[in-house]
Amino acid sequence: MSTSKTHNLPGTKPNRWLGKNSRQGNWWAALLLIVTTVLILLATTDDFATPQNANNLLAQAMPLIIVAIGQMIVIVLAGMDLSVGSVMSLTTAILALDGSPLVLIPLVFLAAVLIGIVNGVAIVRLNVHPIIATLSMQFIVLGIAQILRPVAGGSVPDLVVSLVTGSVFGVPAPVFWAIFVVALGWKILHGSRFGLYLFAIGGGVASGQDDTAHNFGLKDGRSIIIAYVFSALFAALAGTFIAGRIASGDPGVGSQFALDSITAVAIGGTQLSGGVGGLHGSILGAVLMALLANGMNLAGLSAFLQGAIKGVILLLVVAMQSRKKMGL
Amino acid sequence: MTTIRLTTLSVCAALLASSALAQDVNLMDGVEPRPEGNSIVEAGAFQTEAPWTIAMSHFGVNANTWTVQTAHEAKGIADGDARIENFIMLDANFDQAKQVADIEDLIAQDPDVLIVMPVTPTSADAGIQMAIDAGIPVVVHTGRTENQNFTVDIQGGAENFGRVMGDFLVEQLGGEGKIWVLRGLPSHPEDINRYNGLMQALEGTNIDITQEDYGNWVYDLGKSLCETFYLNDPQVDAIWSSGADMTRACVDVLTEFGADIPPITGEGNNGFFGQWLELGYPSIVAEYSPSQAAAGVRAAVALLEGEALHKHYIYEPEGWNAEKAAEYYRDDLSANVWWPTELPEETLQELYGN
């Protein structure tokens, strides 16, 4: 069965990548700004187009790419996961415990599964709004991370550091991470029946008919719970990557990622109201945010100005898409 | 035998000369070579012809008025030296992962020196190693790192800071009483070490901490904290405040409630000085100058000039009394200036003039 065909709901033209009925969202705005930023940096800085900076940029973008893929999985079904940042922090805290990586790494992903299940059950069974459920979970998980590691420090297993900072035949490890997470994200969102369910559930919510998917016989409750488990698992993966980068545990390291991941997904064209979006858009959104940070650093822009400039550029991207389309 | 003696004498003379030269570099008033476990960065080790590019990773510029001033202090020194062609300062915004990325981006620009104010004890470790491996000398200040492979570090003693305040309270209370403790940012190494300094001062006394919480070193939270403390139990003999903005806030709360101001600790902040000198309550200032950032740039310049430096410098000044505070206080400047400062008068007026 071709899964691409099944993504098209009644009344829409088949799977167009551009145009007002595109089920991929308005991802082109992020792409346009990436191309513009790259051209400006190529023209104005000497250090941008170097292999070293390409490695830096990929490594810097990778955590946000990973967590944005997980965030998109829940956003496309009209949900939201504010606990991803705390899951990342908890991951680094667990990995910085004394113990074998063969114990700590499975423990990280087990914790993520539990967090995802609790989020999903709270939303589906207890009917708690996704923002409230995951915000509560954010505080709970952050508290646990702070108990495990009150102050940043400790050291994570060498295996984790090598998996992030090493290379294979001269190819930096982040390249393999990129291939893995993109392939996994693509399979989940665009290459599986589960992905179809997500778009169907989100599309129903976006059209104001929450029960559409259910009425078509889809097991929407189970799909929503699984989606939140995936979101937490991607956050744990991103946390593992960060832990390898900083080589230590830090209970505050994920604090920016909840909002950053939602921003990346939104500027990549995924509608926050659900049902519309594409993996490539979310990746472009994450890359754009990393590129802006990297580019402003290389352009030597004042530390006092960088935050303001980043805000203006992100506003520009968002303004290139209609508010209704974004679901905001 | 004579040859051995002569060689030994020559080596000793060289070491002494090197040490003397290193001591000649004045990084900042109050900054001294660490007396134990130190070593020398040899003269000429990093000598480089100007113009220079100096890169700096700041742990967080916009956290509070003190951190803002550190950025201005560093920039002020760099802007005033024509040999520094390019001074690049990046703001990690207290984000460990961002500091890792910032340092990567700074190293990519091939600076002559890298200055690091670490977010956490581990946030700059990988970056420091990357820079050292690339032959770039690294100056670390205002925060410790686990990686000790940096070239020079300048560390304000947070424990000394907390102990200076604690000793003052012990003396004021005669070794017994009830105190409130206003801490800084939860989990921040500076807060933990200042608190450790307080604990050292309180050891063996009969002083009890009756109320304690975090005010994040800012006025608003400090005020809420003291309101809560006072309403919960107004009996207090002294207050240990880890930051001057919280001190001002707490004094304002006690004044609003009509309570006496007990001995309370402060910091070198102009707003606090004004309040202290006006109300005359018992206090002490633990010095922690934002000019440490200027000292970092000065150390970087000394390395590039080929000066010999010590590897470790410490900054553990004595506390200030009201007379010394009065020498620094300026009523023509806003509450946001921190003393002592190396900012020139023109910049002070531009940034802080009333």
Question: B340 preceded by cis ω (within 30°)?
Answer: yes
What's at B340, amino acid-wise? P
Nearest to B121 among A50, A152, A242 (CB): A152
Q: Any CB–CB contact under 8 A between A89 and chain B?
A: no
| CB < 8 Å to A300, chain B | 86, 88, 109
How many CB atoms neighbour CB B53 within 10 A?
Answer: 17
Which 3 state secondary structure label does DSSP give A249?
A: strand
CA distance B221 to B64: 13
Q: What is the mean pLDDT of residues B10-24?
A: 50
* Phi, psi for residue B343 in degrees, rounded to 5: -65, 135
Contacts of A184 (CB under 8 A, 6+ apart): A69
Residue B18 has pLDDT above 60, yes or no: no
- pLDDT over 60 (residue B13): no
For chain B, what is the mean pLDDT? 90
Residue A216 confidence (pLDDT) = 64
Q: How close A60 comes to chain B (CA, Å)?
A: 6
pLDDT tens digits, A291-327: 988 998 888 777 667 778 777 877 777 776 665 655 5
Q: Residue A313: what pLDDT?
A: 74
Chain A CB contacts of B120 below 8 Å: 151-153, 248, 250
Q: Is the pLDDT of residue B137 over 60?
A: yes
The class (CATH top level) of A62-320 is mainly alpha
Cα separation values, B232 from A105, A147, B236, B256, Å: 45, 27, 11, 16
The pLDDT of residue B46 is 97
Domain layout of chain A by residue ranges: 62-320
Task: Answer whether residue A1 shows pLDDT above 60.
Answer: no
pLDDT score for A6: 42
CB contact under 8 A, A246 and B189: no
How sure is the predictor about B313, in pLDDT bands with cuts at 50, 70 and 90?
very high
Residue A167 β-bridge partners:
A172
Residue spans of alpha helices (H) in A45-172 = 51-75, 84-95, 101-124, 130-148, 158-165
Q: What ipTM is given for this predicted complex?
A: 0.77
- Tell me what pLDDT residue B14 has: 47
Do A67 and A81 contact (CB within 8 A), yes or no? no
Band the pLDDT of A10: cuts 50, 70, 90. very low
| A143 CB within 8 Å of a chain B CB | no
Q: Do B105 and A250 touch (CB under 8 A)?
A: no
- Token pair, residue A251, equals 């209970």
Mutate: best of A58, A95, A148, A297, partner B, most B CBs <10 A:
A297
Q: What percent of chain B has pLDDT over 90?
A: 78
Confidence of residue B125 (pLDDT cuts 50, 70, 90): confident
Separation CA A282–CA A284 (nearest Å): 5
Q: Which residue of B has its CA nearest to A59?
A: B101
Helix H or strand E segment including A200: helix A193-206
Q: What is the mean pLDDT of residues B185-194?
A: 80
Percent of chain A scored above 70 by pLDDT? 85
- Angle among Cα B25, B28, B30 to the nearest 5 degrees reads 110
- Collapsing DSSP to helix, strand or coil, A180 comes out as helix
The pLDDT tens digits for A19-57 are 555 666 678 888 998 999 999 999 988 889 898 899 999
Please state the rounded mean pLDDT for residues B101-116: 95
- Residue A114 scores a pLDDT above 50: yes
Contact present, A58 and A174 (Cβ < 8 Å): yes
**For the residues B78-105, what does the mean pLDDT come to?**
92
The partner residues of B116 in beta bridges, in order of sequence, read B57, B140
pTM equals 0.82
Nearest CB to A245 within list B94, B100, B121 = B100
Asked if pLDDT for residue B240 goes beyond 50, the answer is: yes
Of A215-229, A296-310, B116-130, B236-250, which range is least confident?
A: A296-310
- Tell me if B28 sits within 8 A of B291, measured CB to CB: yes
Q: Is A309 on the interface with B (CB under 8 A)?
A: no
B102 in A contact zone (CB under 8 Å): yes
Q: HSE of B58 in the Cβ direction (CA atoms, 13 Å)?
A: 30
Contact A246 B96 (CB under 8 A): yes
Closest CA to A318 of A292, A293, A295, A285: A285
Q: Do B120 and A47 touch (CB under 8 A)?
A: no
Burial bucket for residue B98 (CB in 10 Å: 0-12, 13-18, 19+): buried
* pLDDT tens readout for residues A152-187: 888 899 999 999 999 999 899 999 999 999 999 999
Q: Is pLDDT above 90 for B331?
A: yes
- What is the pLDDT at residue B284? 96
pLDDT, tens digit (0-9, with 9 covering 90-100), for A61-85: 999 999 999 999 999 999 999 999 9
